[in-house]
């Protein structure tokens, strides 16, 4: 049974995964630090992504571009003009909200009403229930769904048209109240740019205004020719990058789901014009399979195809994940056309083209992008892995069933007791394994308690050294998820653990 979101947050802190930033000063809203276990889990997710995207693909290479970029980059990319959130304030409570989120939350409530009707009918009719027939004929469900659809369509249209007055009108017509105070006294809606500004240079007058990058993708676009030429890359090929991005999110909530400083893992795949939709389908499928390979459960993922497309895209889909607060975007796959490279050509005056030897012509490649938030992936993995397991007889245990390949510590080694030479043998095993795996030594408390501690921290294997070990050079190995124990030779440990962690 999944534990609640609150448990995930407190567990993350208790076991050294995530702390609030500058906590002794009461923290900084929507900024977080990764503790001793968090940094390992995050690194392992990043490496798992990198291996799958770069190492096993001959035609995908890596890049590490700077966070600070020439300011014209963000003119060209459209971020200066179009990277905005529509904000609204409540005049009574003085609280600030994202106007689109207020409307989306309202639409979600209507969606929930329809879901309730369906669940009720399911209960009433039992096995005889035909959901498809019910949702296409039940007048209440039809009305709720129609209402939800109309609201979201109108919101999308107003936002695309930049008609902020209509967004306000919509909020008033729906009678949406301030979640904090219940007041319906709203200000006008206005645009707020999400980029963090900073200055280059010491002199106030001559300093240049810069931005902290709001996405890593642009570092790839501006280096397209550098990589293509120096790596003699032939289309189709990809450039992958992981790194920090910054967004001055106004509605920063839900723990590390929406942060102001976060890390992205992006890959831009350059293709022949006209072949982009084929590659878009390819990467949608490949990325979903990557997620499924971690074994968190197929039912936790779904695609959401975008009807409303960003200015640069001709197809876009999200891979959504069932977070503790519902299905939300985890990764985006976007067919970005030649928008970015063309815009950089225009603004820089430099050609960003590829000579295709097979076609015998030059062109600006089209781009298919896969973009995932590392922190969001961290939250997905952490929240699905944390379970409270009923062991019968009124006993239970907290266990973090992380995919072994991602677990911060792979093996914990215990001497059964703190004497008779057992600690020495256990430490010898640690010494031997530490070159291949993250290993932890623990001799405090009874062995059962030590097992529980490692269960909760997510360690997939525990090894216990006892008196027999001194005689026959065997130890007990215990598996986190099954709690099964078996006796194995010390000399086989490396290969047993290694096998379980195969990529």
Binding site for ligand ATP (CB under 6 A): 215, 247, 249, 258-259, 262, 264, 329-332, 371-373, 375-376
Nearer to ligand ATP, 98 or 401 (CB): 98
Nearer to ligand ATP, 111 or 434 (CB): 111
Residues in the chain: 503
Beta strands in 156-236 (DSSP E): 190-193, 196-200, 208-212
Q: Shortest approach of ligand ATP to residue 289 CB, angstroms?
A: 17
Q: Which residue is nearest to ligand ATP (CB)?
A: 373
Nearer to ligand ATP, 162 or 231 (CB): 162
Q: Shortest approach of ligand ATP to residue 252 CB, angstroms?
A: 7
C-alpha distances in Å from residue 67, one per residue of 200, 495, 500: 13, 41, 37
Nearer to ligand ATP, 215 or 455 (CB): 215
Q: Phi and psi for 64 in degrees, rounded to 5?
A: -135, 90
Nearer to ligand ATP, 35 or 373 (CB): 373
User: Which residues pair with residue 34 across a beta bridge?
Assistant: 18
Report residue 238 as tokens. 């990809």
Cα(337)–Cα(191) distance, integer angstroms: 26
Annotated binding-site members for ATP: 247-249, 257-262, 329-330, 373-376
Strand 196-200 vs strand 485-489: parallel, antiparallel, or unpaired? unpaired
Q: Shortest approach of ligand ATP to residue 474 CB, angstroms?
A: 46
Nearer to ligand ATP, 252 or 430 (CB): 252
Annotated binding-site members for substrate: 98, 215, 262-266, 369-373
Nearer to ligand ATP, 371 or 404 (CB): 371
Closest CA to 67 of 226, 248, 196: 196
Nearer to ligand ATP, 93 or 314 (CB): 314
Q: Shortest approach of ligand ATP to residue 330 CB, angstroms?
A: 6
Q: Shortest approach of ligand ATP to residue 447 CB, angstroms?
A: 40
Q: Shortest approach of ligand ATP to residue 220 CB, angstroms?
A: 14
Tokens 């609201």 sit on residue: 151
Tokens 């798992």 sit on residue: 48
Q: Shortest approach of ligand ATP to residue 460 CB, angstroms?
A: 26
The H or E element that residue 366 is part of is: strand 366-373
Cα(138)–Cα(55) distance, integer angstroms: 52
Dihedral sign for Cα 450, 452, 456, 459, please: positive
Cα(177)–Cα(194) distance, integer angstroms: 25
Nearer to ligand ATP, 215 or 442 (CB): 215
Cα(500)–Cα(503) distance, integer angstroms: 9
Strand 461-465 vs strand 411-415: parallel, antiparallel, or unpaired? parallel
Note whether 240 and 266 are within 8 A (CB): yes
What ranges in 180-240 are assigned the alpha helix state H?
217-222, 224-230
C-alpha distances in Å from residue 329, one per residue of 34, 212, 318, 326: 22, 23, 6, 10
Cα(401)–Cα(15) distance, integer angstroms: 14
Cα(76)–Cα(219) distance, integer angstroms: 12
Q: Shortest approach of ligand ATP to residue 54 CB, angstroms?
A: 18
Q: Shortest approach of ligand ATP to residue 175 CB, angstroms?
A: 26
In three state form, how does the secondary structure of 376-409 look?
HHHHHHHHHHEEEEEEECCEEEEEECCCHHHCCC
Annotated binding-site members: 98, 215, 247-249, 257-266, 329-330, 369-376
């Amino acid at each position: 049974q999944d534990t609640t979101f609150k448990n995930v947050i407190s567990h993350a802190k208790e076991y050294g995964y995530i702390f609030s930033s500058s906590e002794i000063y009461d923290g900084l809203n929507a900024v977080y630090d990764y503790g001793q276990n968090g940094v390992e889990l995050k690194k392992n997710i990043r490496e798992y992504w990198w291996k799958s995207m770069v190492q096993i693909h001959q035609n995908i290479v890596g890049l590490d571009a700077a966070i600070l970029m020439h300011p014209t980059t963000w003119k060209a990319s459209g971020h200066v003009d179009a990277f905005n959130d529509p904000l609204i304030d409540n005049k009574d409570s003085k609280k600030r909200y994202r106007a689109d989120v207020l409307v989306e939350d309202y639409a979600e409530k209507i969606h929930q009403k329809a879901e309730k009707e369906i669940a009720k009918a399911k209960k009433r009719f039992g096995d005889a229930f035909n959901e498809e027939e019910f949702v296409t004929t039940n007048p209440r469900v039809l009305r709720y769904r129609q209402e939800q659809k109309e609201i979201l369509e109108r919101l999308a249209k107003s936002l695309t048209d930049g008609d902020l007055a209509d967004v306000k009108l919509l909020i008033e017509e729906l009678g949406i109240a301030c979640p904090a105070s219940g007041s319906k006294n709203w200000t006008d809606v206005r645009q707020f740019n999400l980029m963090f500004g900073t200055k280059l240079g010491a002199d106030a007058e001559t300093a240049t205004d810069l931005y902290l990058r709001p996405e890593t993708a642009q570092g790839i676009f501006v280096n397209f020719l550098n990589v293509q030429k120096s790596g003699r890359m032939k289309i189709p090929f990809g450039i992958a990058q992981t790194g920090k991005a910054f967004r001055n999110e106004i509605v920063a909530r839900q723990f590390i789901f929406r942060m102001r400083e976060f890390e992205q893992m992006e890959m831009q795949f350059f293709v022949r014009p006209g072949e982009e939709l084929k590659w878009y389908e390819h990467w949608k499928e490949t990325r979903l399979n990557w997620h499924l390979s971690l074994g968190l459960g197929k039912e936790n993922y779904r695609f959401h195809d975008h009807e409303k497309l960003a200015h640069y895209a001709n197809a876009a889909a999200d891979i959504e994940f069932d977070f503790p607060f519902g299905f939300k975007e985890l990764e985006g796959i976007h067919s970005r056309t030649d928008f970015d490279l063309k815009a950089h050509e225009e603004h820089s005056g430099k050609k960003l083209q590829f000579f295709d030897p097979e076609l015998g012509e030059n062109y600006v490649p089209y781009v298919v992008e896969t973009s995932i938030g590392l922190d969001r992936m961290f939250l997905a993995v952490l929240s699905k892995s944390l379970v409270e397991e009923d062991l019968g007889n009124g006993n239970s245990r907290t266990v973090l069933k992380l995919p072994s390949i991602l677990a911060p510590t792979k093996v914990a080694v215990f001497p059964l007791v703190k004497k008779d030479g057992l600690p020495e043998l256990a430490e010898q095993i640690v010494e031997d394994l530490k070159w291949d795996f993250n290993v932890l030594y623990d001799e405090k408390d009874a062995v059962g308690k030590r097992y529980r501690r490692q269960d909760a921290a997510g360690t997939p294997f525990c090894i216990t050294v006892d008196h027999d070990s001194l005689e026959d050079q065997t130890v007990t190995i215990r598996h986190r998820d099954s709690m099964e124990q078996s006796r194995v030779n010390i000399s086989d440990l490396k290969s047993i653990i290694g096998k379980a962690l195969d990529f």
